[in-house]
Amino acid sequence: MLPKNRRLHSALLAVAMVAAAGPSLAEPVTAIHDLAKQQQQPLLDTLRDLVAIESGSKDLEGLAKIADLIADRLKQLGGKVELIQPTDIYRMDDTPEKVGAMVKAEFQGTGKAKIMLIAHMDTVYLRGMLKDQPFRIDGDKAYGLAIADDKQGIATILHAIAMLQKLGFKDYGTLTVLINGDEEISSPGARGTITQLASDQDAVLSFESGGTDGSLRLATSGIGAAYLTVQGKASHAGARPEGGVNALYELSHQLLQLKDLSQNERGLKLNWTVSQAGTNRNVIPAEATAQADARALKISDFDQLQATLQERIKNKLLPEAKVQLKFEVRRPPLEATDASRKLSSHAKAIYDEIGVPMKVLDVATGGGTDAAFAGVKAKGAVIEGFGLRASERIRMMPSTFRSGALSRVFIWPRG
């Protein structure tokens, strides 16, 4: 029989996992389960408060406001809290001048294991949408902009720690929380800090939503972007076309010779998705650009792809055209490791104990998250998907197409 309320399970699992990372599982699961029940309403209240602050990745004011709220909550829980303003920013095509600060909290325990919990506070919807779509609870569902991605992750972390405190559980060396404000723009500021802090942890648990079925993920896709720029020469298309160098023709030639680089059997994908050329119908276009989305399961595949792209663009249709290609690793892939397999099978055992099936996915399905930055130098386990379950699939879509209309909804079945 399913337990009464599934919303408990993420916090419950997080607590149990932290407990398990110490020398022994200190408390019986039922005691933790009861505590989780007591946290239901407080967790909903926290969600309401988080959703009530608009915090787009480029909204520095909103990000500062939500960072303060999270910092206060972590202080109340007894953490040593600091706001870290990123200084070493990895600049990509869409990186703003300034990005939001990270909230870091550290809790000292009496044990040995080092455990880190991560989530992000930035969102993708456009500023101003909140007034028409406020947080609400309707029956067994909670609705709110960015509730699934990733405000639930923050709330789950806060209440998992509250539960640990109520249990009096301190059998960890350090419990580190890191909440960043730039995940949705590929973490240009937080990536370095996440990698560095994660490197000597025994376990990093990431609180993106557990999808519709609460799966844990041991691998995530690497995400890359290729930008192709062709420089030609403008000329009047009617009076003197031979005086120009048609950048659109060269771009078309390039795209056709760069379109077969996917290797689906190894999860390597390259797809050209955006292009632009020309200004007027009667002018030979002087510039043309295109962008491609790239995915990989291994970082070496990105290196290889980049080298192939650079080599191929040397073959030109119009010798006078100038062709340039820039490649960005927006997010490295996360690969499953022995450590993550071992810890996730323990998680599965905990779910078994409370009668809930759990899937552990060790092959990436196309999405990328900050768990990948944690995995770059990690010696311990890195696991994604500790957040609550969503009632619809979380889709990876270009941020311009993701909108509040896709309010994330959570199913919390009754009885």
Catalytic positions, written as ranges: 122, 183
**Residue 264 CB neighbours (<10 A):** 7
In which residue are the tokens 């800090």 written? 193
Shortest Å, Cβ 154 to Zn ion: 11
Does the CA dihedral 269-370-150-88 come out positive or negative?
A: negative
Shortest Å, Cβ 402 to Zn ion: 11
Which is nearer to Zn ion, 184 or 250 (by Cβ)?
184
Q: Report how far apart, in Å, the C-alpha atoms of 248 and of each of 231, 234, 276, 285 are.
A: 9, 11, 9, 6
Q: Is 106 exposed, middle or buried (0-12, 13-18, 19+ CB in 10 A)?
A: middle
Collapse the DSSP code of 308 into the 3-class scheme (helix H, G, I; strand E, B; otherwise coil) and give the result.
helix
Shortest Å, Cβ 120 to Zn ion: 6
Q: Contact letters (x/-) for Zn ion, 63-82, by CB under 5 A?
A: --------------------
Query: What whole-number distance in Å separates Cα of residue 413 and Cα of residue 17?
Result: 24
Query: What whole-number distance in Å separates Cα of residue 52 and Cα of residue 247?
Result: 48
Out of 54, 59, 150, 287, point to the residue binding Zn ion (CB under 5 A). 150
Shortest Å, Cβ 131 to Zn ion: 23
Number of residues forming the site for Zn ion (CB under 5 A): 3
- Which of these ranges, 143-151, 191-199, 352-360, 399-407, lies near Zn ion under the rule CB under 5 A? 143-151
Which is nearer to Zn ion, 182 or 208 (by Cβ)?
208
Query: What whole-number distance in Å separates Cα of residue 391 and Cα of residue 24?
Result: 34
Shortest Å, Cβ 78 to Zn ion: 27
**Residue 168 CB neighbours (<10 A):** 9
Angle subtended by helix axes 152-167 and 29-38, to nearest 10: 120
Shortest Å, Cβ 341 to Zn ion: 23
Which is nearer to Zn ion, 189 or 232 (by Cβ)?
189
Q: Contact letters (x/-) for Zn ion, 176-215, by CB under 5 A?
A: --------------------------------x-------
Q: Are strands 408-411 and 141-144 parallel, antiparallel or unpaired?
A: antiparallel
Which is nearer to Zn ion, 57 or 235 (by Cβ)?
57
**Token digits of residue 311:** 């080599």
How large is the C-alpha radius of gyration of the chain?
A: 24
Query: What whole-number distance in Å separates Cα of residue 126 and Cα of residue 136?
Result: 19
54 binds Zn ion (CB under 5 A): no
- Which of these ranges, 50-58, 108-116, 146-154, 173-181, lies near Zn ion under the rule CB under 5 A? 146-154
Shortest Å, Cβ 15 to Zn ion: 22
Query: What whole-number distance in Å separates Cα of residue 17 and Cα of residue 365?
Result: 24
Question: Are 12 and 5 in contact, with CB atoms under 8 Å apart?
Answer: no
Which is nearer to Zn ion, 258 or 390 (by Cβ)?
390
Question: Are 359 and 211 in contact, with CB atoms under 8 Å apart?
Answer: no
DSSP H or E stretch at residue 49: helix 40-51
Residue type, 208: E
In which residue are the tokens 């539960």 written? 163
Q: Are strands 174-180 and 102-108 parallel, antiparallel or unpaired?
A: antiparallel
DSSP assigned state of 233: B
Out of 54, 59, 122, 149, point to the residue binding Zn ion (CB under 5 A). 149
Collapse the DSSP code of 121 into the 3-class scheme (helix H, G, I; strand E, B; otherwise coil) and give the result.
coil
Closest CA to 248 of 328, 323, 325: 323
Shortest Å, Cβ 146 to Zn ion: 9
Residues of this chain that bind Zn ion (CB under 5 A): 149-150, 208
